[in-house]
Structure 1
Amino acid sequence: MEDPSVSPTFLSPEPDDEPIKQLPKEILLRIFSYLDVVSLCRCAQVCKYWNVLALDGSSWQKINLFDFQVDIEGPVIENISQRCGGFLKFLSLKGCQSVGDISIRTLANHCHNIEHLNLSECKKITDSSILSIARHCSKLTSINLDSCPNISDNSLKALADGCSNLTEINISWCHLVTENGVEALARGCPKLKKFSSKRCKQVNDNAVMCLAEYCPDLMVLILHSCDAITDASIQKIAENCPNLRKLCVSKCAELTDQSLIALAQHNPYLNTLEVAGCHQFTDLGFQALGRNCKYLERMDLEECNQITDLTLAHLATGCPSLEKLTLSHCELITDDGIRQLAAGSCAAESLSVLELDNCPLITDQTLEHLVTCHNLQEIELFDCQLISRAAIRRLRNHLPNIKVHAYFAPVTPPPTTTGHRPRYCRCCEIL
């Protein structure tokens, strides 16, 4: 079913629309260029004069239909494509699961100047759609194919042939993509800066090495759960991509400290590192990062269960810009590690989010150390059994705006002989 608010319609002229025409056409078009889809369609229903101007292709350079993804049908996209033509530069169809290949081919045939295209979760589209885009839209710089299960290597090869200006691509959850498709993409799109392939199990070392070899400007690399990745390819990325700013290798369990050491040696401007579930990382690797990566802002070390307080000491002294730190399930972390972190320059200047879920050794002393972290806005303490409500209240006395997410195990209810189930309240709190 189409949403009437995003289906352009023509109206009959109203008898008293002359005052509206007093505003010059050029000014109205400029005003309309700042409006979203809903506002434009509402303007189009005011009168015939506004209808013509509001539906002028020049006002439809950027379209985001995310808010209507449940209702949007293919004919709406085809109508918009024909009306916008060469004006359209940005289109997001995220979640529009009714949109298929016919609509995307129509889009490609009419909108040759499109630069940014988001087809995330458009589950009906196939390689046929991307072949049309690659054939007709040579100015494309960004495409999101996240969770498009029918996309394969053929799509990446087509983009490599037709869209050499591509700088950003997301193929996360595209299970059919293999190293062959990534290699073709890397060879044909040397300007690539952002590459995401979360949960693409067939993206392996060979694929990542091709990215390193042919795409030296890479700044963001997301390899979450590409569990065939080893140190060899991450070392190649570190050596060949000096502009790397964000790396996510969470759940890549084959990686060791050699990857972290390579990053520390070659990527001093790294600001985001996500390594959750990399069980082989130790204090040695984070010591190297602490010495050389002064611009780290966000680190996710969840389930890096070999690290100790020594890692926190290195981060406290070497990473003054650290804003968010996740240490959940780092079971060797103690109060002393948090004390060293709180005493570091990052805690005084930038640390705003600290996640300590399932850190069994931390106690109320941890919260006493954190009272000096004046920028701390959020802390997570789920399943930290040695943290008390009283300590949380004391922390809030010093940091009244902080959000504390905590869990307190329910007290075992007393035995009953009545046969009725005892009642007790929920114990998960945002304090």
Structure 2
Amino acid sequence: MSAVINDLPEDLLLKIFSYLLTKDLCIAGGVCKKWRRVTNDNSLWRHVDLSPYRLNLQKVWKIIRAHLSECLLSIRLRGFMDSGTKRKSQSVSNAMLDDIRDRCPNVEELHLYYVNISSFDARKLPSTLHTLKLDSCSWQPRWIKSGNPSLPNLRSLSVSHCVRVDNFDVEEFCQYSNLEELNLCGCYRVKDSGLQKVAQNLSHLTHLDIAVTSISDLSVHHISRNLKDLKHLCLRRCSAITNGALATLVSSLKKLQYLDIFECSSIDADGLRALHKLESLRTLLCGPKIPSTVLEELQNDLPLCNITCITGNRQLLFDGAAEHE
């Protein structure tokens, strides 16, 4: 069988290898000279995903030097912050980011998970980035301000579950005035004053995730007043959000298509009824506190909206008068 596979033309092997994970691609390159030649094709290294693996700095360097080039568009790396005894191990450094900037002048996306960002300076980030995700990373307060990175093309920023991010950090994010997507999910230190800065300075936002933050109806007021192009809003587990917030966003956010109010414990059936005027809404996520009769009424008023009620580990999708698990 191996002989048959090895007899395939290189263009067909290239197509097959395009379905491999990065680790498997590296393994395939060690099979024979022909496979090494094919696996080194730059088209296979446009999007490099190393996030399923915890790799130390030495191993990441090896991959960068062997495979990364000007064809690279996105790279995902996983650190050691969730690995117990190896928490202090590094997977990113200033020198490594310098090398990526030199080798990969067209890189647009950098995704880092569980990385200690104090191991590198913000100013080392590639200026070509369109997307920067620093999810579940060990955050260094004032990290952006200390490095003041030039990111003129940045459109999407995520610091999801970077729990030390606070209002001062959020204010520093506002320098990237062209942002269209901002994810602050799990940043519980972020409060109304931080969201006020976001709403006033990031007017191009279309996607905003502020789940599990410490905001109130005041933040929704600022969002509704300033972010008229918003299409996606996640308020999940924001316990201080009330019925009044829904009435506010219905009157102002005419382009809103996605709304998540799951476990917003202060919102009840009366608040949800206000959404029947939000004709742009296509997806609504809510919790078991809302009676099914109210959801059915809302579904009748918004026939194009997928309404999902999350109950424990179950999700009930309402479709007209019916509901489905």
User: In the TM superposition, what whole-angstrom CA distance separates every residue of 1:386-405 from its partner, at most 9, and x where no partner exists?
Assistant: xxxxxxxxx99975xx632x
Q: 1:127 to 1:167 in 2, by over 3 A?
A: farther
Matched with 2:100 is: 137
Q: CA deviation at 1:232?
A: 1.5
**What is the CA-CA distance between 1:35 and the residue it aligns to?**
4.8
**What's 2:167 paired with?**
205
Distance in 2, Cα, partners of 1:342 & 1:137: 50
Amino acid at match of 2:311: D
| Deviation readout 1:159-183 (Å, 9 max, x if unpaired) | x2351112222222223x1232133
How many residue pairs get aligned? The number is 310
Cα shift at 1:215: 0.7
What TM-score do the two structures reach when normalised by structure 1? Answer: 0.62
Residues 76-115 of structure 1 mapped to structure 2, 5 A cutoff: 88-97=45-54, 99-110=55-66, 111-113=68-70, 114-115=72-73
Q: Secondary structure at the match of 2:220?
A: helix
Aligned to 1:169: 132
Q: How does 1:23-422 map to 2 (within 5 A)?
A: 27=11, 31=15, 34-36=18-20, 50-51=34-35, 53-55=37-39, 57-58=40-41, 60-62=42-44, 88-97=45-54, 99-110=55-66, 111-113=68-70, 114-121=72-79, 126=89, 129-138=92-101, 139=105, 140-148=107-115, 151-157=116-122, 160-175=123-138, 177-184=139-146, 187-212=149-174, 214-253=175-214, 255-328=215-288, 331=289, 333-334=290-291, 337-345=294-302, 348-351=303-306, 353-357=307-311, 379=316, 399=322, 403-404=324-325
Q: Which runs of 5+ in 1 are unaligned?
A: 1-10, 63-87, 359-377, 381-394, 405-431
Q: CA deviation at 1:156?
A: 4.4
Larger relative strand fraction = 2
Contact 2:261 / 2:286 at 8 angstroms: preserved in 1? yes
Query: Contact conserved, 1:32 with 1:40, CA < 8 A, in 2?
Result: no
The 3 A distance-change label for structure 1 pair 164 and 336 is same
In structure 2, runs of 5+ residues without a counterpart are none
Shift of 1:109: 4.0
Report the secondary structure of 2:208's partner residue. strand
The separation in 2 between residues aligned to 1:337 and 1:398, in whole angstroms, is 11
1:179 partner SS: coil
Letter of the 1:153 partner, please give it.
S
CA distance in 1, matches of 2:295, 2:137: 40
Which structure is larger by alpha-carbon Rg, 1 or 2?
Answer: 1
| CA spacing shift, 1:40–1:29, aligned 2, 3 Å | farther
Shift of 1:257: 1.0
Give, in whole Å, the separation in 1 of the partners of 2:15 and 2:49: 22
